Structure 1
Amino acid sequence: MLNVTILVIIALGYVLTRLYFLKKEIKRATRQLNDLNKNITDKKVDIRFFDRDIEKLAKEINNQIDLTKKAKAEKSLTENELKQAISYISHDIRTPMTSILGYMQLLESDEITPEIRKEYTSIVKNSAGRLKVLLEDFFELSIIEQADYPVKIEVIKLNHLIVEVLVGFYEEFNKGNLEPTITIPDHDIIITADPSAVKRVIENLVVNAIRHSSGHVTIRLEKLNTSVQLTISNSVTQLSEQDLHHIFDRFYKADQTRIGKGTGLGLPIAKSLMGKMNGNLTAELIENQLFMKCEWKY
């Protein structure tokens, strides 16, 4: 009977001791979380008392801390991008609006000649057109970036679609005194994607190449071992590696002094559309040549 009593006392002592240290560890973890929440420290929770369940709890708490930090960083980045986007769009809207209002005031004068009036009217129309394109592109990008943006995936003969798009740019190439080098296989190159989205991507990349080429544009379609790749490249003179890092950012223009050279939304729209189709769009600068590569896996 005495032995039983001793064993009970030992067992009770063990339980109470373990309970004491567990409670002490919980209090310590609580203090650490409190310091973390008050930004006194950014250290994650650590434990000193060995217990499998406490270890699991501490691990899950630290995982949640990591997720919270990541969410805060993403929120901060999104807020900064939104502020930057608002700043850019405000600037790009203000420029044509100022022009429109200024020339509208001049058109109210009875002293200007019919020729001058016609010239001013043309300037107002051009400014209004730029404003319309900017707002349409901004609205389109905001729609594309929504999680539930619909894409209709189907089988596409990509070589035929590219030729169809390029025919529509015949006059644009002529105006820019550009004779593009086009390499497209005669046999069918098949991908699964959204035809209208693919067409929009190609159009945006070709427009970008024409606007910013310093003299040469190359369009090449090829079937690789595991993918189909469309490369649209153009010669450049003022693009740097730093510019390349931001080339798909909203409103980014490598040369901010070039007014009227587009909204700066064409490439972000193309990038977003490729992502929606599980494709990929990348940019590479080799010497003085910018390569835009669209890739569809198969």
Structure 2
Amino acid sequence: MIYISVISALLAVIFLIRYYLVKKEMKSITKQLENYNYHNTEKKVDITFFDKDIEALSVGVNRQIDLIVQANADKRRTEMELKQAVANISHDIRTPLTSIFGYIQLLEAKDVTPEEREEYVAIIKDRTKRLQVLLNDFFELSIIESVDHYLKLETIKMNNVVSEVLMEFYDQFTERDLKPIIMLPKEKISIIADESAVKRVMENLINNAIKHASGNVSISLVQGDSKVIMTISNDANQLDRNDLDMLFNRFYTADQTRSSQGTGLGLSIAKGLMQKMNGNLIAEYKESKLIMKCEWKMQ
């Protein structure tokens, strides 16, 4: 009987000690969370009393802290991107508008000659077209990024699509004195995609290659074991490797002068369309060449 009483007393003491330590540890965790929430410290929760349940709790709390830190970082990055996008939009809209207004004022002058009038009208048309391209690209990007925007995915023959798009760029290749190196397989290659979206992706990538190529442009289509890959590459000696990760950002241009060469939306639109088609668009830089790869999974 005495033995049982001693055992019971020992168990009660152990329980009370454990209870005291658990309560102390819980208060410590609460205090640490308060300090973290009030920005008194950036330190995450640590424990001194090792119990598997308390340890699991601290791991869960620290994981949540990591998620909050990441969410805040993403929020700040998104806010910065939005501010930069608004600034770029304002710049790109204001520049042609200011030019258009200036030349309209010149047209209103009484002493303007017919030759000057013709020149001013041509410039106004050019600036207006640039403004139209910008607004169309911005509208298209907003549509693509909408969760309610769906593409019509169906079986399309890539050989035909690539050939059709390349024919549209014959004049542009000639104007730039570029000879495209085209490598299309004899066997027919099909993918599940939206035909108009695929053409838009190709147009944007080829446009980008023609505008910035310092040498020839290569276009190839291959079918691998599990993917269909379309590659568009061009010499890009002026490209910095640091630009590579930024190419698909909205309004980003490797040419920081932001000239009339483009709005900086084309590659972002192409990336968005590829994602909508369950495909992937990646950029690589090898041996002074910019390589754009469009990948679709096999049917």
TM bucket normalised to smaller: over 0.9
Deviation for aligned residue 1:3: 5.5
Find the aligned partners of 2:263 and 2:144 in 1 and give their Cα distance. 16
* SS across alignment from 2:34: helix
Q: Deviations over 1:100-158 (max 9, x none)?
A: 11111112212212221222122112111111111111121122123343122211111
Q: 2:30 is matched with which residue?
A: 30
Give matches, 1:88-127, under 5 Å: 88-127=88-127
Deviation for aligned residue 1:85: 1.4
Find the aligned partners of 2:240 and 2:199 in 1 and give their Cα distance. 28
Deviation for aligned residue 1:80: 1.4
TM-score by length of 1: 0.93
Find the aligned partners of 1:237 and 1:113 in 2 and give their Cα distance. 44
Identify unmatched segments of 5+ residues in structure 2.
none
Q: 2:167 is matched with which residue?
A: 167
Give matches, 1:33-72, under 5 Å: 33-72=33-72
Matched residue type, 2:282:
T
- Whether the aligned pair in 2 keeps the contact of 1:238 and 1:255 (CA below 8 Å) is no
Find the aligned partners of 1:128 and 1:285 in 2 and give their Cα distance. 35
What is the number of equivalent residue pairs in this alignment? 298
Deviation for aligned residue 1:7: 4.8
Find the aligned partners of 1:57 and 1:116 in 2 and give their Cα distance. 77
How much identity, in percent, do the aligned residues show?
Answer: 54
Q: After the TM superposition, which of the residue ranges 2-11 and 133-142 deviates more from structure 2?
A: 2-11
* SS across alignment from 1:201: helix
Deviation for aligned residue 1:8: 4.7
Deviation for aligned residue 1:72: 0.9
Q: Tell me: CA distance 1:12–1:247, structure 2 relative to 1, closer, same or farther (3 Å).
A: same
Q: 1:237 is matched with which residue?
A: 237
Q: 2:177 is matched with which residue?
A: 177
Q: Deviations over 1:20-39 (max 9, x none)?
A: 21111111001111111122
Give matches, 1:176-255, under 5 Å: 176-255=176-255
Identify unmatched segments of 5+ residues in structure 1.
none
- Whether the aligned pair in 2 keeps the contact of 1:29 and 1:46 (CA below 8 Å) is yes
Deviation for aligned residue 1:215: 3.2
Matched residue type, 2:62:
N
- Whether the aligned pair in 2 keeps the contact of 1:29 and 1:45 (CA below 8 Å) is yes
Deviation for aligned residue 1:2: 5.7
Matched residue type, 1:104:
I
Q: Deviations over 1:165-206 (max 9, x none)?
A: 111222222222222111111221111122221111011011
